[in-house]
Amino acid sequence: MAALVAENFRFLSLFFKSKDVMIFNGLVALGTVGSEELFSVVAFNCPCSPARNYIYGLAAIGVPALALFLIGVIWNNHTWNLVAECHKRGIKNFSAAATFLLFGSIMGRAAVAPVTWSVISLLRGEAYICALSEFVRPSSLDKFPAEYGAEVLARFPCKDVPANLTKFRDEVTRRLRYESQLFGWLLIGIVAVLVFLTKCLKHCCSPLSYRQEAYWAQYRSNEDKLFRRTAEVHSRILAAKNVKHFFGFVALDKEEKELVQEFPVEGVQPSPQWNAITGVYIYRENKGFPLYSRLHKWAKGVEGNGPSPEGHEMLFLAS
């Protein structure tokens, strides 16, 4: 158990440090696998009761998947950029294709963890067996005693059955596990095909060359990294100035004193500037020159949010 907890903490550390989309999705999948294993060992306990098995089995698969999906939506920056966009500017400047790309990006990224959870649950089979054991038709079992019905079948996952039904329990468990794993492998195949087709469609429809798209990804990563680092320093220096103004002095360590001396901060950015760099951004060009982000667009002094004779929307969303 200690090793499992350590692995989860290591996963979380890598999760928050990762910037690459493929690494990000891979870490989400690995973390989901570990969480599902922990859930199966610690929490899953089939009630082995008619009418309860079905609800509990489906809940064991569906509820965590739903929770993971919502967490994925919450953790996606595109979600809050969309909220800011709707709040500040509305989505009237977005075409149908751009809106589809945006929601597809949010839903696709958020679906990694729930799909992984569902696949692992189906491959393990416990939840599926628990949910459907009572619905196995006794007539499909050779020489199954007529005096037993759904109530006994519901107890098969718990192995709490009369001795003369042991072979039937093994057969039902084997049959349901086969079905569960078959659905799991089919789900893996369907998801793999969808991911492949989506990647092909994205690159075929992209207005950018492969190298420019790679450069754009590097720019976004560097801009976000530098913005966060600079914002942290700026806010610290501004806070130090305000604390000093209130108390007459401020207790700074050596590193903070060097920051205050090296980077003079006069004030804060006005709200219109924050609004200009916040929200959804879809690749645009102005007079043939690329604009890689809202911050880039603001720095170049390009006005407006929608298409214009000098700047047009290219219908390509950052992944």
Let me know: does 76 contact 66? Beta carbons within 8 Å.
Answer: no
> Closest Cα to residue 288, out of 311, 306, 261?
311
293: helix, coil or strand? Answer: coil
251: pLDDT strictly greater than 60: yes
107 and 114 in contact (C-beta within 8 Å)? no
Q: What is the pLDDT of residue 224?
A: 93
So what's the pLDDT on residue 6?
A: 41
- Listed range (37-41, 66-70, 158-162, 207-211) with the worst mean pLDDT: 37-41
Q: Compute how many other C-beta atoms are within 10 angstroms of the C-beta atom of residue 106.
A: 19
Phi, psi of 45 (to 5 degrees): -150, 95
Helix, strand, or coil (residue 290): strand
The pLDDT assigned to 205 comes to 77
Residue 34 tokens, joined: 């570990």
Alpha carbons 44 and 33: distance in angstroms, whole number:
15
| Ramachandran class of 260: left when φ > 0, alpha when ψ lies in -120 to 50, beta otherwise | alpha
Contact 62, 121 (CB under 8 A): no
Q: Residue 249 above 90 pLDDT?
A: yes
pLDDT in tens, 190-210: 999 998 998 888 778 777 888
**According to the model, what pLDDT value does residue 219 have?**
94
Per-residue model confidence (pLDDT) at position 171 = 87
Q: What is the dihedral of CA 17, 281, 206, 197, to 10 degrees?
A: 60
Contact 38, 4 (CB under 8 A): yes
The two structure tokens encoding residue 241: 């100035």
Decide: 163 and 77 in contact? Cβ < 8 Å: no
Cβ-count burial 20-36 (b if 16+ within 10 Å, e if not): eeeebbebbbebbbbbb
3-state helix, strand, coil in the chain (%, to 5): 70, 5, 25
3-state secondary structure of 270: coil
